[in-house]
Amino acid sequence: MDATYNDSATTNACKLCAPLGASLVFKGVRGAIPLMHGSQGCATYIRRYLISHFREPVDIASSNFSEETAVFGGGDNLKQAISNVVCQYKPELVGISTTCLSETIGDDVGMILREFKKEQPGSRLPEIIHVSTPSYNGTHMDGFHDAVASILQALATNHGGNNGCINILPGMVSPEDMRHIKEILNDFDTGCRMLPDYSETLDGVPWKTYKKIPDGGIGVDEIKEMGGARATIDMSRVCNEKRSGAQVLKARCNIPFHRMGLPLGVKACDTFFTLLSELTNQPVPEKYVKERGRLLDAYVDAHKYLSGKRAVIYAEEDLVVGLAAFLCEIGVVPVVCASGGNSGHLRELLTQVIPEKLEKEIMVLEEADFQDIEEAALEAKPDLFIGNSKGYSITKKMGIPLIRVGFPIHDRFGGQRVLHLGYRGTQQLFDRIVNTVLEIRQTSSDVGYSYM
């Protein structure tokens, strides 16, 4: 069933701003610096938000609008900002995202960049890529997908022919997820081009000396090679064609693509591993066959604890769809499926993965804020919440445990190392859910069970 709330204002949004998503993508490119065309406050907010989740230094440059700039335009500010970034950082790529302010006053960033390049004759400039990201036009996921599409539109070519690699567009997943996906493709003995890839840039090792740009990320040369891959696997089912990097690669370089969603849960992981086996003509490596077997064994062992439990899930739309399908596999009913996203596809995709549950037992909230989610949760009477840290105030008020997944995780340590994907990630999430249920039973008991 659908739930509709007619509030005139958003109360604690279940989404983030579009430039944040774009900045995260640019952080997944080697030698790149994100540059925000707008006020300093926007860059500071996003930088602080990313730092508190990833626990890594995050530099985001700004064109630093003032009152005068907001009236007369920010072209000169943007040119100066690019010059400063090039001088200070020596980047391989500058990723420019526009904020609500620069979009509202109508700055023609494309024209400004053409003027800037003409004013630098003979200069060796980095790649400069612009993506339009007004937050009133979408969420952080729209900014994320738009940035991926803009990078591929600017860089991907097929001049080198088929290189045998597989492109992975993972969506907004954790660095640990990215490392695991690359491990899987390596075990299938195939090359991988992942965009973005912030597995090292936002979860790195200690430095002996400060680095202005962290090591890691997919290189500009590797992005160009994505136009010669054997196929693209797009792990977002929600992103529409206009914002799809896979569609850009298909149109520009005739690369076939497969949209399959996040490999979370046995069924979704089976789809992913079967596809890799078909694309590479390789059998599924034995270690993943065993991981699948252990996961199925765990499902059986813990069914008595989870059957009939009720959960509220909230996140980016792709993660909500993946979580809902997984929960139904293990006997948990996702009584509320909520997202701040506004693609219009959430209900349709949930119908595809859990058709037998959707009509009777589940509330679907699109473009939701946390007031909507709280009201739905009070009606649904869940046992668990599964989502990011922003739902903590509701769970504290209701006395319900929160299992933290996705982004942002601000009130716990290690959010960047939460593994969600593959049989291994599913196993870890499954164990966390079971142990949370056991902890509730143990702590709520008058005698406090010591054995279960």
**364 and 236 in one domain?**
no
Residue 312 placed within a domain = yes
Torsion of Cα atoms, 66 then 112 then 89 then 45, to 10°: 40
Tell me the residue range of the domain where 369 lies: 301-444
The pLDDT of residue 80: 93
Q: Which two tokens stand for residue 360?
A: 């009777």
Q: What are phi and psi of 191, to 5 degrees?
A: -70, 155
What CA–CA distance (Å, rounded) separates 2 from 337? 10
**186 and 140 in one domain?**
no
What CA–CA distance (Å, rounded) separates 311 from 382? 5
Question: Which single residue is written with the structure tokens 């996140």?
Answer: 315
The pLDDT of residue 390: 93
Through-space distance between the first and last CA atoms of the chain, rounded to whole angstroms: 36
Question: Which single residue is written with the structure tokens 């119908």?
Answer: 351
The pLDDT of residue 223: 96
CATH number at residue 98: 3.40.50.1980
Q: Give burial (CB, 10 Å; 0-12/13-18/19+) of 252.
A: middle
Express each pLDDT in 320-364 by its tens digit.
999 999 999 999 999 999 999 988 889 999 999 988 766 677 999
Torsion of Cα atoms, 113 then 90 then 87 then 36, to 10°: 50
Which parts of the chain sit beneath pLDDT 70?
1-9, 159-161, 241-242, 357-359, 448, 451-452
The contacts of residue 447 (CB under 8 Å, 6+ apart) are: none
What CA–CA distance (Å, rounded) separates 400 from 392? 9
**Final residue belonging to a domain, choices 212, 243, 261:** 261
**223 and 110 in one domain?**
no
Residue 210 placed within a domain = yes
Alpha helices in 133-174 (DSSP H): 140-155
**108 and 47 in one domain?**
yes
**Residues 51, 203 contacting (CB under 8 angstroms):** no
Q: What are phi and psi of 263, to 5 degrees?
A: -75, 80
**314 and 253 in one domain?**
no
**229 and 315 in one domain?**
no
Express each pLDDT in 358-399 by its tens digit.
667 799 999 999 999 999 999 999 999 999 999 999 999 999
What is the DSSP annotation of 286-321?
A: HHHHHHHHHHHHHHHHHHHHHTT-EEEEESSHHHHH
Q: What is the DSSP letter of 58?
A: -
What CA–CA distance (Å, rounded) separates 90 from 100? 28
Q: Which two tokens stand for residue 107?
A: 């700055």
**Final residue belonging to a domain, choices 212, 230, 261:** 261
Q: Which two tokens stand for residue 304?
A: 């008595």
The pLDDT of residue 1: 52
**95 and 117 in one domain?**
yes
The pLDDT of residue 67: 77
What CA–CA distance (Å, rounded) separates 273 from 374? 37
**Residues 195, 223 contacting (CB under 8 angstroms):** yes
**225 and 90 in one domain?**
no
The pLDDT of residue 283: 97
Helix (H/G/I), strand (E/B), else coil: 64: coil
Structural domain count of the chain: 3
**Residues 177, 198 contacting (CB under 8 angstroms):** no
**Residues 394, 377 contacting (CB under 8 angstroms):** yes
